Amino acid sequence: MESAAENLDNVKNDKPVPESDHLQDAVLQYWRHSPNAADSLQGIINWWLPKQGYEKVGMESAYQALEQLVAAGVVEKVVLVDGTVLYRLIVRVEE
């Protein structure tokens, strides 16, 4: 039996598979309009990316893009009590 991640990765994309930087741009564009938003990987795939024109994105591709934003210090991961991981934009307060 295939996992949900394998099912998502086996779906034929409507667009060519976007490179990580394109997915990063799409997620950042969402945050530009909703800077206080936070969501799980699955939520970003199901809700955010389709609003940016990416209807079918593999879980691994989205994960890689988000992790690169985390490594760059733009996004942080928040782990909830139940283990759910949320991604949110790091908001810097100007002095």
pLDDT in tens, 20-54: 788 999 999 999 999 999 999 999 999 999 998 99
SS3 of residue 55 by DSSP? coil
* Residue in 41, 37, 28 with CA at minimum distance from that of residue 83: 41
User: pLDDT (tens digit, 9 = 90+) per residue, 8-24?
Assistant: 343 334 444 456 788 99
Higher pLDDT, 62 or 94: 62
Confidence band of 78 (pLDDT split at 50, 70, 90): very high
Token digits of residue 21: 């930087």
Contact 44, 63 (CB under 8 A): no
Strand partners, 38: 88
Contact 18, 57 (CB under 8 A): yes
